[in-house]
Amino acid sequence: MAEKAVTEPDAIAVDAVDAHADDTLIRGLREAAPAACSELCQRFGPRLHRFAAARLGWDGQLAEDIAIQALADAIRNIRQFNPRKSTLSAWLYGVLRRQIIRELRRRGRQKWAPAEARVPFDHLDETTLEADPAGRLDAQLDARRQVTEVAAILTNIEFEVLVLSAVDELSAREIGQVVGRSERAIHSLLHRARTKARERLVRDED
């Protein structure tokens, strides 16, 4: 059978499937169904954790705590979620972002604490690493350095917008819902962020 070409209608169909999955998940969460909690945790937990870690100086443990707190807040306030106003994904990132901002204010931290100081060496044994843990750690530290340098030349919101777009693949509209800006403003922010990041990354390659 010939492969079906990927066309725009298929992308729409994927969105529709996602929306249907979200509807089912939301109904389950409103009924406090354990299966729905598990699905929420598996589908969104790693993504929220990664975003939180990037914003909290790679503090993995803190990022976990914040992500769990955000998911719990989301369940508590699930009746406030309005699917006509945003996607579930964007809404969850919004909840997480408020948690991160609250945490940063509470601790009075800088946007970027020294990354190396926060590498959870004591957790290395518990993690599933590649065959070469040392090599993995070097790569991780180098990646954090580069991301830290990019973040240093971006504003907080530019960095958030770039991460949400590049890593979490949210649309401009969804990102706007997360950070409270218009879609047009997000396009503008993304353009600026990419331009600045490109200069930094190219210099690093040189």
Alpha helices in 56-132 (DSSP H): 60-76, 88-107, 115-118
**Residue from 87, 89, 165, 177 binding other proteins (CB under 8 A):** 165
Say if CB 58 and CB 144 are below 8 A apart. yes
**Angle at CA 100, nearest 5°, toward 76 and 114?**
150
Binding residues for other proteins, total number by CB under 8 A: 56
Integer Cα distance of 63 and 69 in angstroms: 10
Least distance from other proteins to the Cβ atom of residue 188, Å: 15
Say if CB 71 and CB 45 are below 8 A apart. yes
Q: Is 147 in the site for other proteins (CB under 8 A)?
A: yes
Q: Is 76 in the site for other proteins (CB under 8 A)?
A: yes
Q: Is 53 in the site for other proteins (CB under 8 A)?
A: yes
Q: Is 29 in the site for other proteins (CB under 8 A)?
A: yes
**Residue from 40, 95, 161, 189 binding other proteins (CB under 8 A):** 40
Integer Cα distance of 113 and 109 in angstroms: 7
Tokens 């930094």 sit on residue? 200
Among the candidate windows 13-21, 96-104, 123-131, 174-182, which touches other proteins by CB under 8 A? 123-131
Least distance from other proteins to the Cβ atom of residue 143, Å: 4
**Residue from 128, 131, 203, 206 binding other proteins (CB under 8 A):** 128
Calculate helix-pair angle for 88-107, 8-30, nearest 10 degrees: 60
Integer Cα distance of 10 and 16 in angstroms: 10
Q: Where are the beta strands (DSSP E) in the chain?
A: none
Q: Is 41 in the site for other proteins (CB under 8 A)?
A: yes
Among the candidate windows 14-22, 56-64, 95-103, 106-114, which touches other proteins by CB under 8 A? 56-64
**Residue from 12, 13, 19, 32 binding other proteins (CB under 8 A):** 32
Among the candidate windows 16-24, 87-95, 141-149, 177-185, which touches other proteins by CB under 8 A? 141-149
Integer Cα distance of 71 and 160 in angstroms: 19
**Residue from 104, 113, 157, 201 binding other proteins (CB under 8 A):** 201
**Residue from 22, 43, 146, 183 binding other proteins (CB under 8 A):** 146
